[in-house]
A and B are shown apart, each in its own frame.
Chain A
């Protein structure tokens, strides 16, 4: 964790997130397995470790005011998820810095449910405690979370490995929005719920926006983004290509994709 509580960080009043010249690079192993055995054998042969450096985000600067709903679009591998993880403080920046004002709640590729043998209830408590909530606070919110997720009868106390992908997504979303975050990060998680749940999610997000909370959504569903977001960021291979009014950015993105406004791209998921 790279928390450095800045007494010296300057942050204009109305900003939720300030990103300053952020670059994120990391090395990935090209080899099949990272094992001591391989390392020793490689050293014996005098080979070097084969790695590839990925430049996930390149020199990005961005100010996100409180109460913004920002969509992030871009092709696969554009660096969207990496950016989200950096804002959440999970991945440390390689260059530049990120200042975050408020409590961040993450819904990144379904955060809860890391332990499939435990019930949904246990996973909620563990995830919440890791996020820094108090046990009592969690117990209080538990009913809200469970009723929002609205899982089929009794599933909340079943091991999470028995959940369907949709149920998984519902629970994860429910946890993330009920943590009363100041900043909510959602990465491709809306796609799992059914139509009714999706509508409920939108409702909840609109409500969070009215409370001047900030939401950042990564999604390929441009229709949803247009409906929910007032701002959008278009990323491509680590670069920010456009930032601004959501409909305009998504329009540009669509143009780039060279597909025009065909229903399949606008249609949700």
Chain B
């Protein structure tokens, strides 16, 4: 007897992974549903490349995001290329360089995997499959309302029922830290990023808005936070932005764009290129937001085509974790076996029933079980893949496809 050997490991780099058929099928259904929602809202698909010249990406990301980028030297040209850590700057470049002749507003969506390096953190660099949408060329809250409505509709369409959207405006913090020295600015940002009110007050000490910055770290919650914020930020340059955020909050509430809104005025974690409203969709389960987005009015200008813009990206792994466990979505598929199998397969496929031919009748049931097929149809009898025998559906002259469809319907799938 041959010795039993373990299968070879061939490990993947840290943070990379495969999706096997059940998960891949669920993921494909997920992205199809998100894409369908975007299409229904008038968005067109684009497919940007997996890597770009570092110089081009950095123009959009700014310096702070640049440390998260995985780079390599492109052997042909000797130039530094970067695996995209974020798709939005790619879309900005794409619009500025390729779609400049089309009239705005421009509505685009994409599905793409980004790669981020997170040196030294608990979670190291990893691939992050995303679905995103960008609305370019619309000023004012109409854009945020349209985009958040799309995000809400898309998340609801894939079956996410419990989620909330947090709202922040980057100008609130920026207007309060404008006078701080660079060191103090870094400390305040870090303290707010950790929602550490005491540290935020201490870091902003001596600046004109120390109390207001400390208050921001604690201003997270429902609409009542807006009332608190108006009081805490009265007379500061941030005050008008709180009022604007309140108006957006009211408009989104009125439209029932998402199940619940959260105001989070301590939020400072976002890409540098955001210039106004930023938001995250949060749901119990994954421990990280399922989507993030905001307004970036300067980004397209960096590529030579100034346009106001808003966008969001859905983190598909996080969304999958927030959704109920994967059902068997491979149902309704059929294994055909026996001499007539090939001829029947053609008729079934023409009728839209997924089927595979397993020539040897003895292997058919095992194949069905291993790969999640619902039913085995042979010349003698028909079985559900769990093993129960059903009467054979085929008379010699009967149309097999309609018979199968009938059976599948009777069986409760499709």
Q: Do chains A and B stick together as partners?
A: no
